Amino acid sequence: MKKKSSSFIGILEKNIYINKLSAILVSTFMLSGLAMGAEKDAEDPFVRTGTISFSKKYILAEDFRHIIFKIQNHNPRTLTQIFGWVYRIPASKEESGQDSKKLILVNNPHQGGLLVKDGPHRPGQKALWRFQLDHNMHGASVKDTFTLRVSPKSVFFPSLEPPPLSTTGKKKKGR
């Protein structure tokens, strides 16, 4: 009887050892994955705003007529329209004479963004969206920074999803 209990204890000790070892391995892999994600975010900084995220880097037209943001779709559906608020943050108080902590709305939020590249903005993909800016942006300069705010209620989807892409990148043909 004593041998059975000692063998049982030996098995228990082996299981505890295996559990500890697996916990160490899992935590190591998780930490390495988090570190890789941090490096990826440092390369291309995206701001997550719920169902979409936009890049902090943008393209501003020379005449301040429009701005282009790179947007990533986190929805399970394709995007057809995005209505967003574009804000201008003045460069500094000394140069522009305005408060640098002040956000100035510089677009009409009732006018949606336009998808720059042709084709639908599918789930998980990144695409360029262009937002029209106000004609009369007084005191605007190239040194100003711009940001985008998008509510989840202002993201719209098609009633019918476009056909899925084939492995070659072209649309599948219907019958």
Confidence (pLDDT) at 35: 41
Summarize pLDDT for 104-114 with one digit per residue, the tens: 999 999 999 99
Residue 138 lies in a domain: yes
Residue type, 71: I
Q: How many domains does the chain have?
A: 2
* Residue-range definition of the domain harbouring residue 9: 1-42
Query: Which residue would you say has higher pLDDT here, 103 or 28?
Result: 103
- Does 144 lie in the same domain as 68? yes
Residue 112 lies in a domain: yes
- Does 130 lie in the same domain as 93? yes
- Does 137 lie in the same domain as 111? yes
Residue 147 lies in a domain: yes
- Does 140 lie in the same domain as 64? yes
Q: Which residues of 156-172 are buried (b: 16+ CB within 10 A; e: fewer)?
A: eeeeeeeeeeeeeeeee
Summarize pLDDT for 27-80 with one digit per residue, the tens: 555 544 444 444 454 566 899 888 899 999 999 998 899 999 999 999 999 999
Summarize pLDDT for 77-100 with one digit per residue, the tens: 999 999 999 999 988 765 555 555
Nearest Cα neighbor of 47 from 137, 161, 145 is 145
- Does 151 lie in the same domain as 75? yes
Q: Tell me how long the chain is.
A: 175
Residue 134 lies in a domain: yes
Residue 53 lies in a domain: yes
- Does 7 lie in the same domain as 86? no
- Does 37 lie in the same domain as 105? no
Residue 109 lies in a domain: yes
Residue 116 CA, chain-centre distance (Å), reads 17
Residue 172 lies in a domain: no
- Does 141 lie in the same domain as 115? yes
- Does 148 lie in the same domain as 98? yes
- Does 50 lie in the same domain as 38? no
- Does 96 lie in the same domain as 77? yes
Residue 171 lies in a domain: no
Measuring CA to CA, how many Å separate 31 from each of 21, 35, 100, 158? 16, 6, 38, 39
Dist CA 11 CA 93 (whole Å):
71
- Does 148 lie in the same domain as 75? yes
Dist CA 146 CA 105 (whole Å):
10
